[in-house]
Structure 1
Amino acid sequence: MFRAGLKAGLRAYSNQTKRFVTNRPSRSNKWVPWAIFGTSFGLGWFVTQHMTFADLLAKYMFDNVPENDEGLMKYKAQMQQRLENLSVVKQLKQVGYTEVFSQRKKNNTLIDKTLQVPGGITIPPRFFYNPKTKETVGIYHLGMKLTGYPFLVHGGVLATVMEDLMRESVMFAQGAKSEKTQDLTLNYKFPTFANQFVVVRITQVEENGKNVKLHAELMDQSGDRTLVKGTGRFKT
């Protein structure tokens, strides 16, 4: 009887022990605070790198206000100063590029009217040209109104900007007063964040009489990362 009772007691203890082990609290949720911290840190870094408070408000704050509105004029002046302070602008001037001014812009209603609004292309793009290589560089600011997915510039807007720079390059390289796009091919390499300047540059010019083929790339405002590559054929 004693042995039978002892064995029964041991079995009961063993079963209790197994149940205790089985129901032990999980430690797998310890990563949750770190994940929250990492996400918050990453979002904060992104906002501080790509956006200012004025940028975030520009989408709504300056809608339908007169061009001579004091707040809008101040915001545009800040944007121009930010563009002038870009390292790529200083580098261009050091390697033989000079700033040039488009003669066609008054007819380019998409870039200069439809999209040139606060939160869109707030200020006119700047162009730099190297007469030795016949290469052109354009700098555009792309705001929050030009997004497709949240924070990412719409692919159609990027195509528009790429074609615009190519057309300007044809004008500068050949001295033509008009040009016609034959075809445009783009390869999207990396998402383009909104509320930043982008640098579009011609990397190669191939001329055959009135036919011109251009190779171009769109980079972030540092000029370190290629976001879009493309080729275009034009006729003057």
Structure 2
Amino acid sequence: MLKRTAIAQLRKYTNGIVFKTASKPKRRWIPWTIFGGSFFGGWYLTQHMTFTDLLAYWRYDALPKNADEVVKYHADLNRRLNGLPIVKQLEEAGFVQVIANEEKNLLVSRALNTPGGIAIPPRVYYNPSRRETVGLYHLGMKLTGYPFLIHGGILATVIEDLMKEAFRLEKGTKNINQETKDLSISYKFPTLANQFVVVRTTDLQQYGNKTKLKAELMDQSGNRTLVKANATFASEE
């Protein structure tokens, strides 16, 4: 009752004007999640991209293969390849480097042999006692399907390329008609572009003139399997 009387008295002296207190200013919302995600995403990508790779993506196609920039780019990739721990591990495990047959897959050896693609020839290792073959491929930014992720068709091509090399090494000859049958691919994880990948055969079985192969594609550390594959090859001597 006293409160109502006080309010009535106040309105009487202020001609009915009611004064409102100012509301507190709202705090400005800062999207920390978006900022943090963008920052760490950008940091992660910079760990897998170099300035020369960006140049390769935009410029090197228009340059002759003997241009200084292209030669430097190839030299940089070979240095990175030589520094991979998997190279030392293969040598310690009894694998020997072999000369790959460039005619087995013209898509890899010619069409994709460009800066930003498969700029340097894959390096192939073979262990005759274990009957295993390992290939190291650098997959550049031009081979992406989604941004920064290698296209699934390219991964299948690379795996088939290594399988054919393993088949050739098992037969011990270059003069062989190779026909791929029943190639099946199982994708486990996305494959980042501008990385080396390790492709290796995991099982080889002979059935008359047919050879069954299993293979897997891993990241450049060789610790995570990204793709698995099975295929059958038929040969005619």
> Does TM-score exceed 0.5, indicating one fold?
yes
Q: How does 1:93-132 map to 2 (within 5 A)?
A: 93-103=91-101, 105-106=102-103, 108-132=105-129
User: 1:214 & 1:226 partners in 2: Cα distance?
Assistant: 17
Counting only pairs closer than 5 Å after superposition, residues 125-204 of structure 1 correspond to structure 2 as: 125-176=122-173, 177-204=176-203
Shift of residue 78, structure 1, vs aligned partner: 1.3
TM value normalised by structure 1: 0.87
What SS is found at the alignment partner of 1:205? strand
Change (3 A) 1:2 1:131: closer
Equivalent position of 1:210 in the other structure: 209
Partner Cα distance (2:225, 2:207) in 1: 28
The corresponding residue for 2:17 is none
Change in 2 beyond 3 A, CA 1:86/1:7 = same
- The answer to whether the 8 Å contact 2:104/2:161 transfers is no
Q: Aligned partners of 1:83 and 1:224: how far apart in 2? A: 16
SS of 1:179 mapped into structure 2: strand
Cα shift at 1:2: 4.9
- Pairwise CA distance, 1:41: 2.5
Deviation at 1:170, TM superposition (A): 0.6
* AA aligned opposite 1:111: V
Contact kept? 2:100, 2:123, Cα under 8 Å:
no
Q: Deviations over 1:136-181 (max 9, x none)?
A: 0001000011001110100000000011011111111122423110
> What percentage of residue pairs aligned between the two structures are identical?
49
Q: Which amino acid aligns with 1:194?
A: A
- C-alpha distance in 2, partners of 1:4/1:76? 88
Q: Which amino acid aligns with 2:26?
A: P
- Pick closer, same or farther for the CA change 1:38–1:3 going to 2, 3 Å: closer
Q: Distance in 1 between matches of 2:25 and 2:50?
A: 48
| Structure with the greater alpha carbon radius of gyration | 2
Which residue is 1:12 aligned to? none
2 CA distance for matches of 1:68 and 1:24? 65
- Aligned residue type for 1:144: M
Tell me the amino acid that sits aligned with residue 228 of structure 1: V
Question: Aligned runs of 1:42-61 on 2, under 5 Å?
Answer: 42-47=41-46, 49-61=47-59
Aligned to 2:90, the other structure's residue is in SS state: helix
Please name the residue that 1:69 is paired with.
67
Matched-pair contact (CA < 8 Å) for 1:186–1:230: yes
**Unmatched 5+ residue regions in structure 2?**
10-19
* 1:5 matched to 2:5: yes
Q: TM-score, normalised on structure 2?
A: 0.86
Letter in 2 for 1:98: V
Structure 1 distance, partners of 2:218, 2:8, is 76
Q: CA deviation at 1:24?
A: 7.5
For the structure 1 residues 3 and 44, does the alpha-carbon distance in structure 2 shift closer, same or farther, using more than 3 Å as the test? closer
Preserved CA contact (<8 Å) 1:196 1:221: yes
